Each structure stands twice: as C-alpha cells, then as structure tokens.
Chain A
Amino acid sequence: MYWIALKMLFGDRVKFVTLLVGLSFSVLLITQQGSIFCGLMKRTSATIFNTGAPVWVSDARIRSVDDVKPLQDTDLPRVRSVTGVQYALPLLFRITQAQLPSGDSENILLVGVDEQALIGIPQAVRQGNLSRLNQPEAVAVDDSSLEKLGNPGLNSTFEINDKRARITAIVGAKRSFFAYPYVYTTFSRALEYMPRQRKLMSFVLAYPKPGISAERLALQIERETGLGAFTEEEFLWHTIGYYMKNTGIPINFGITIFLGLLVGAAISAQTFYAFVMENMRQFGTFKAIGVGNGTLIRMIFLQSSTVSIMGYGIGVGLLALFASRIPPNGVVAFYTPWQLLAIAFVFIVVISVFASLVAGWRVLRIEPAIVFRG
C-alpha cells in the first residue's frame, strides 16, 4: 500500500510540484535569512576571531568586544602574576579615523599588539612582511576592506590622527561587523596614534601554561584580579549576546524567518490537506476494501514525509547554490552553521507531522460508506 501512496503522490503532478515549491522556498527562506543573520552575528566577533587569543581579560563590566573599557597599565603585570598564566600581552583596540590621500576620512579599527610577539595580528599575510612593523610609521591593513582605504598597495601612506602610517603588510582578516578596515601596528605606535589618555590598554591577552585549560585560566584570573576574563568562545557569545539583546537585528531577521516558516507551513499544510481531501474518495475506497486505519495513516505520513524531505533537499540545494555565488568575506555576511540546517529539518518534520495529523484525522473520520455516494 505504501508504494500506492507514493504513486498517488507523484501522479498528481500539479499538487506535487506545488508542495515541493512551497516547501523548498520555505526552507530556502529560512536557511538563507538564517545564514545571513548568523553571518552578521559572527561578524560582530570578527575582532575575536582575527586576534585568536585563548583568554581575553578586560574590565568586568564589558558588554562586547567593541565596548572597550580601558584597563590600567598595572593590570598587565597583575594578570601576568596569576597562577597558570604562561604569558600575557597587551592589546589596544580603538575605533578611530584615518585621513586618506584623497582627502576623505574613513573609520578604522586600530589594533596595537605587543611589538616583540606581534600576537593578535592575523597570520595570513597576503603581501609584505609583518616583521617590518617595527619600522617607523609601519602598519598592516586587512584585505577585506581595502576599498575603504582607496585600495592602497604596499608602502602607500595615510594618516591616523595627523600622524603618518605606511603600509608594510596586507593580511587576510575576517571582515568586521561595521566593515571598518583593521589597521594593525605595534602597541607603542598605536599609543602614539591615539590622543593621550590616562588609560589606553583595551585588553590583556592571556595564554595558559601547558596542561591548563583556557576555562580554568579565565576563572583563575577573575578570582585573583577581579577583572573580567573570557575564553575565546565565551567572549564570542558574550559579544553576540550583546548584539542580539541591544540591536534590532534579531527581530528584523526573526520576522522574515517567521514569515518564511508561516508561508511555508501554510502553503505546504494547506496544499497537502487539499491533496488528501481530493483523494478522500480513494481513501474511502481503501477503507471499504479493508485497509486499516493504521495503514492509511502511515500512507499519509509517507506521502507528507517524502515530499517534505524532497522539499528540504531542494531548499538546501538552492541555499548551496546561493552561497556559492557569494564571495567569501565579501559584503554579504553569510554563515550556515549545521544547527541552522538542523532547525530547518526540524521545521520540515514538524510541518510533515502536522499535515499528516490534520489530513489523517480527516481520513480516520470518513465513513467508508462515503464510497456509495455518487
């Protein structure tokens, strides 16, 4: 009988295609909008990814990586003295402005790293050499937002707060949430670029001794210094959480995703329901000739799950096609975690079960005597 159920499904081509289109479009909408949302959220933590430190130490009240609350200079040796710290390095991170040779000005993310270790700069060097950062006026820029700096080459110059900066390296970094270019230099030179303030150190990057986990070290630092300490993953979710709570991004995307769910569910469930209703006489005939209710329900579930899984496959396929057309690290933020695909699959299963239950309930309620009505 299950084979008959599939032939009934595939045989009604108009309804079958309508069901497939509805489900595929719904899955595409959910996963595509979800991927852009995840991509944007991931970009809020681009600085954390680009820096790559296991433990971030900051003011305990910090809300996100962009919400810099500067530390005192004395905090660096305090962190270094914590049990379990192998070494700790200062990091300066500020949004400031660059004056371009064209006369335009552009916001940049200035990152100052320890001059000896140069830790905190992405290691994917596209052009030039990071070792030249110790030369006067030397900076490295990231390649994801070069156009904002006028597509400069090596040895091009621009100014940061009226002080000249010369590009000695171009590195590959993840694009920031605001698409501001990252400008990397040594910590001491970054201090020169910034107006003089009492506190300038943004973070301390701490590295654990062998055998000590990042989680344990973060707890140890918090306990011994009273500062905030986060593992890379904790800081990432802390930052994402801040943007989720304090921006309209989740709501805006949520509305679109919800509409996708609603449209998909409505189209699919309604079309499937109509499909079953149109076949009610056939189901009545099956019932009359002795097909049990359990078999009928399983036939309906097989039909709905088959079309749902096919719709899911096509939707994800279209998503992959869409994703393949997006340049990596380009303007469009796009990231598809497996959890998003799992959520879309759960949605499809829910739709499938829901449609089966509604349609199945009607089939169970039909009297087989319906078959004698003309």
Chain B
Amino acid sequence: MKLTVWGARGSVPAPGPETVRYGGNTSCVQVELSDGTQVILDAGTGIRGLGLALDRAAAGGRVNILLTHLHLDHIQGLVFFAPAFKPDSNITIWGPASAEGSLQERIARYVSAPLSPIEVRELPCDVHFQDAPESEWEIGPARITAASVAHRGPTLGYRITEGDTSLCYIPDHEPALGVPLDTLDDEWVSGFDLARGASLLLHDCQYSDEEYGEHVGWGHSRLSDALTFAHRTEAERVLLFHHDPLHSDDALDAIYESAAAGWAERGHDPGEIELAIERESLDLRAVTAA
C-alpha cells in the first residue's frame, strides 16, 4: 500500500509563497494497493494533479474515489480530474448516504450549470455512484470500512486494510464537540472503532488549541484533541491533515513542533507523527496474513 498526498489543505485552496512547502491544494490522497488498484480519498483540488499523473502513467483506467462528504473542499477537483474525460476510464465514486437525495444528485448540484461547464451525464467516462455501505466491502485486495463521524452534515471516515496494514482517513472530524475527549469511554468517541490500531491515521488537525475556541462546532479538531484521539486509538503513526488555509508554512512548522512534543508527552516516539505535505509519499508494506 503506497500513499501519496495530493492535497492536505482544508476549507479552501491556499496557494501562495507562504504555503509552498506544505501545499495549498485541498483534500486528496492517493492510495495504490499492492496489485496497482487505485483508491483515491476525496476529490479536493489536489485530485487535478493526481489525474494528470495517472494520465501520464496510463493508469487511470479503473479508479475508486471515496468521498468523506460533499463539502466543496472535498469535491471541487472532480471536474478537473483528467481520467473523468477519457471514455476508457471506469470511475466509481463512493460517498455518504443522505435522505436528501442520491449521491449522484447531490454531486450534480456542483457538477452542473451554472457552477460547472459540464454535467455529470456529459462525462465521457463510465462513472458510477455508490452510497458507502455500513458493512465492510472490498476494492481489489483491500477491505474498506466506512463509518459516520462527527462533522457538519453526513460525513464518513474510511479505513483501508490490506493484509495487516491499515490506513484510517478521517480528515474532517470534531470528536470532542461539547465534551472533553479524555472523559469519554471508547464506545462514545466518534470514529474510535474505525481508527483503532491503524498502521497510519490521517486525521483532522485544522486548529491550534488557541484557535479552537473561536471555532467550536465547525466540525474540526484542535491539535490536542487530534493527539488524544490518535493516542487513545493507538495509531502506530499519525499524519495530521486538513491544514487551515490561514496557516502559513511557518505556522505549520510551529504546529508540528507542538505536535511532536505532545505526542512525546503521551509516551510515543515523536518520529511517529507528522504533518501531511503535498506530493509526499509514504510506503506502507502490505503484510498478507498467513
């Protein structure tokens, strides 16, 4: 299992000289499974660069896109995803169910006039929309689990497991909304089972502890809650994600220093935690169970 971050920014793209190191594109993570199967986590603006890379590698034939939710920073890149404009592409888009309408209907609100020059039905690729099931399902050699997590509106987190290696992706998450996270039993922590014991946890860390007070209920985590969540779920490694668009590279460096210190205070090796950086890759060895 190989992971590449194509966008780690939250809320809105934040390009500019002050964000060149961590990147300004919104949420998109490429996961390449051991057999080459492509799984894409979210379709923020980062998916544009990924689409071009897949195009160059001629690997864009069959793609699964797992959307955590339909906020714009997680779907904005869909109409700029090069494989979607190739007739030989087969794209399945998974996302949260809603009583409001089908997944296709809800995505079509964005992929339609006047917000988009193209309609879903005009895409030349073979595209399918699927509500993420509540039970585990398979994509290639991996098992996929989705679970609702605390954010604004229907929102999922995902767990991708191949062999003994597991990646948990919860980019938008406010597990401590209204209650101190360390006072809750495990069963009452949003996303707990999904993240438990993951080889790598990608988790929301939009705000510093100082900033969070102005953003309670916005659906995102402060640093200390992200660390507590990762600690309690026993994540082996942690990538903090969904950087606030107001956070410059220097500000994120400072958050990293606090994160490493906080992780060490919780009894872990500070080398196990990092902030997600656009275009950085990480190899996770897929260990097949005997």
Whether chains A and B associate is: no
Where the two chains meet, the residues of A that have a C-beta atom closer than 8 Å to any C-beta of B are none
